[in-house]
Amino acid sequence: NAGVTQTPKFQVLKTGQSMTLQCAQDMNHEYMSWYRQDPGMGLRLIHYSVGAGITDQGEVPNGYNVSRSTTEDFPLRLLSAAPSQTSVYFCASSSFRQEYSPLHFGNGTRLTVT
């Protein structure tokens, strides 16, 4: 059972480049989300989705786009990378079928923007 899978594990970008962070889950979870973790800042919500075709902004959405065409996948796009986007990115999912079902996190993508 793979759970939440994130690729790549590491990525280095130059300022202005674009890229997509991939996230896939095999638990048929309705809810998916992206967080970033920065030193001294904890985890902050970027975007989230409550089902295919539905996305919404979190606390720090600027500079990121998302889409949810399938239940399984929730990619995060950086259109023009900036050094301020250097961070560790975590994708997470959970089920609405169980009350209080906790978030399941992937192992993260460490992104450096130079």
Partner 1 sequence: DQQVKQNSPSLSVQEGRISILNCDYTNSMFDYFLWYKKYPAEGPTFLISISSIKDKNEDGRFTVFLNKSAKHLSLHIVPSQPGDSAVYFCAASVVNTGANSKLTFGKGITLSVRP
Instruction: Report d(CA 50, CA 28) in Å as an integer.
Output: 12
Considering only residues 42 through 71, tell me which ones interact with partner 1, judged by CB under 8 A.
42-45, 48, 50, 58-59
Instruction: Report d(CA 24, CA 91) in Å as an integer.
Output: 9
104 near partner 1, rule: CB under 8 A: yes
Burial class (CB in 10 A: 0-12, 13-18, 19+), 43: middle
State in angstroms the smallest separation of the CB of 28 from partner 1: 15
Q: Residues interacting with partner 1, by CB under 8 A?
A: 4, 31, 33, 35, 40-45, 48, 50, 58-59, 90, 92, 94-96, 98-108
